[in-house]
């Protein structure tokens, strides 16, 4: 008996197996084939040449490393163990995911960090191994790349940083300390409410809040160019006189970074993860 499930995820994803299927059948010969697909988050095209590292979660030991060819890297894993996956490519932020055994109710394995995966169950010791195929979507890190800082949002008419924003900026500072060639434009934005002049000033104050926080974390001022764009770069239809929800307006009250200069550094095996996977569903509006 063979089952095939396909699920899409943004944060925590679980492999769910029907109740009539036993763990012995799911695990097959006690080996899983793990196939990691690596893609560009924007274009969805494979990112060839990416180095993919497989670590044992508890010990932190590097178990294997593969280079993406034809869009994929392949590993053998033990379904009883927990793993960390990390990526390195000179033109992308470091990505990663976790794999661990659930065994809660119908859940056999869980993964945190994959944007999408599929699972094919094994059929017992005499049948093919189970296969887990996971996709990692990477953010580009080239000169001109623009990345929205996921948790750097603002309350209406406020320029102060939320705790979640500070955490995101701490991660950005770590990246900039790791690669001292990076310089950025740090741009902040508003929604369309209030006048254009007021929003321009508000966005400048938001950019300055982020700029000062990064300096306080030890980043040199000449590596950051703070800019406020007001309401001139809305990400949705919520312009003046358009009826939008608070959640829709919130999307526009954001901060982004653009890479101005960047010299790639050599890839080496590391558990570093540039930006942690975050659940924005519970973020306060």
Show which of 138, 163, 189 is a domain's final residue: 138
Calculate the average pLDDT of the chain. 82
Residue 271 lies in a domain: no
pLDDT score at 3: 33
From the CA atom positions of the chain, what is the Rg in Å?
Answer: 22
Mean per-residue pLDDT, 66-80: 91
Residue 95 located in a structural domain = yes
Residue 211 lies in a domain: yes
- Decide which of 138, 169, 187 is a domain's last residue: 138
Same-domain check for residues 163 and 67: no
Question: Are 48 and 132 within one domain?
Answer: yes
Q: Are residues 62 and 121 in the same domain?
A: yes
Question: For 247-268, what is each residue's pLDDT tens digit?
Answer: 999 899 999 999 999 999 899 9
The mean pLDDT of 9-26, rounded to a whole number, is: 40
Task: Give domain status of residue 280, yes or no.
Answer: no
Going by pLDDT thresholds of 50, 70 and 90, the confidence category of residue 126 is: low
Instruction: Give yes or no: residues 153 and 256 share one domain.
Output: yes
Same domain membership, residue 154 and residue 121:
no
Provide the CA 64 distance to its chain's centre, in angstroms.
Answer: 22
Q: Are 167 and 283 in contact (CB under 8 A)?
A: no
Contact (Cβ atoms closer than 8 angstroms) between residue 111 and residue 127: no
Per-residue pLDDT band for 282 (boundaries 50, 70, 90) equals very low
Domain boundary among 93, 111, 138: 138
Q: Given this model, what pLDDT does residue 115 score?
A: 85
Q: What is the pLDDT of residue 159?
A: 87
CATH number at residue 95: 2.60.40.10
pLDDT value at residue 171: 93
Q: Of all helices (H) and strands (E), which one includes residue 184?
A: strand 183-188
Assess whether 127 and 215 both reside in one domain: no
User: Are 49 and 165 in a shared domain?
Assistant: no
Shared-domain flag, residues 181 and 78: no
Rounded to whole angstroms, how far apart are CA atoms 71 and 239? 40
Domains in the chain, number: 2
Q: Does one domain contain both 119 and 198?
A: no
Domain assignment present for residue 43? The answer is yes
Q: Distance from CA of residue 227 to its chain's centroid?
A: 25
In a domain? residue 275: no
Backbone angles phi, psi at 69, to 5 degrees: -130, 135
Cα–Cα distance measured from residue 122 to residue 31, given in angstroms and rounded to the nearest whole number: 9
20 or 50, which is more confident? 50
The whole-number average pLDDT for the span 32-54 is 94
Query: Do 123 and 178 fall into the same domain?
Result: no
Give me the helix-helix angle, 196-216 and 163-178, nearest 10°. Answer: 60
- Mean pLDDT for the stretch of residues 64-84: 92
Task: Judge whether 277 lies within some domain.
Answer: no
Identify whether the C-beta of residue 228 lies closer than 8 Å to the C-beta of residue 201.
yes
User: Which residue range is the domain that position 153 belongs to?
Assistant: 146-261
Q: Please, what is the Cα angle at 69 between 132 and 47, to 5 degrees?
A: 90
What CATH number does the domain containing 159 carry?
Answer: 3.30.1330.60
Considering the domain architecture, whether residues 159 and 199 belong to the same structural domain is answered as yes
**Is the CB of residue 109 less than 8 Å from the CB of residue 15?**
yes
User: What is the Cα–Cα distance from 53 to 124, expressed in whole angstroms?
Assistant: 29
| Residue 198 within any structural domain of the chain | yes
- Indicate if 105 and 156 belong to the same structural domain: no
| More confident position, 94 or 4 | 94
Instruction: Give, for 149, the enclosing helix (H) or strand (E).
Output: strand 146-153
Residues 99 and 111 sit within 8 Å (Cβ to Cβ): yes
């Amino acid at each position: 008996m063979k089952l095939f499930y396909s699920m899409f995820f943004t944060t925590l994803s679980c492999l769910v197996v029907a109740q009539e299927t036993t763990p012995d059948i799911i695990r097959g010969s006690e080996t899983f084939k793990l196939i990691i697909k690596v893609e560009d988050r924007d274009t969805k095209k494979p990112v060839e040449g990416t180095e993919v590292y497989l670590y044992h979660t508890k010990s932190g030991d590097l178990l294997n490393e593969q280079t993406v060819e034809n869009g994929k890297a392949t590993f053998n894993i033990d379904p009883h163990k927990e793993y960390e996956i990390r990526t390195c490519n000179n033109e992308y932020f470091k990505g990663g995911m976790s794999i661990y055994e659930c065994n809660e109710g119908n859940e056999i394995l869980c993964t945190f960090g994959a944007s999408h995966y599929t699972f094919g169950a094994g059929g017992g010791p005499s049948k093919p191994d189970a296969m887990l195929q996971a996709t990692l979507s990477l953010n580009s890190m080239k000169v001109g790349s623009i990345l929205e800082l996921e948790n750097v949002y603002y309350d209406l008419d406020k320029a102060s940083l939320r705790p979640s924003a500070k955490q995101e900026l701490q991660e950005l500072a770590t990246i900039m300390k790791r690669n001292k060639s990076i310089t950025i434009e740090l741009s902040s934005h508003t929604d369309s409410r209030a006048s254009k002049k007021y929003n321009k000033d508000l966005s400048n104050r938001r950019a300055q809040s982020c700029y000062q926080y990064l300096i306080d974390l030890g980043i040199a001022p000449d590596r950051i160019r703070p800019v406020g764009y007001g309401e001139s770069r809305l990400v949705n239809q919520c312009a003046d006189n358009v009826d939008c929800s608070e959640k829709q307006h919130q999307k526009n009250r954001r901060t982004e970074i653009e890479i101005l200069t960047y010299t790639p550094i050599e890839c080496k095996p590391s558990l570093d993860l540039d930006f942690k996977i975050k659940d924005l569903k519970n973020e306060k509006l």
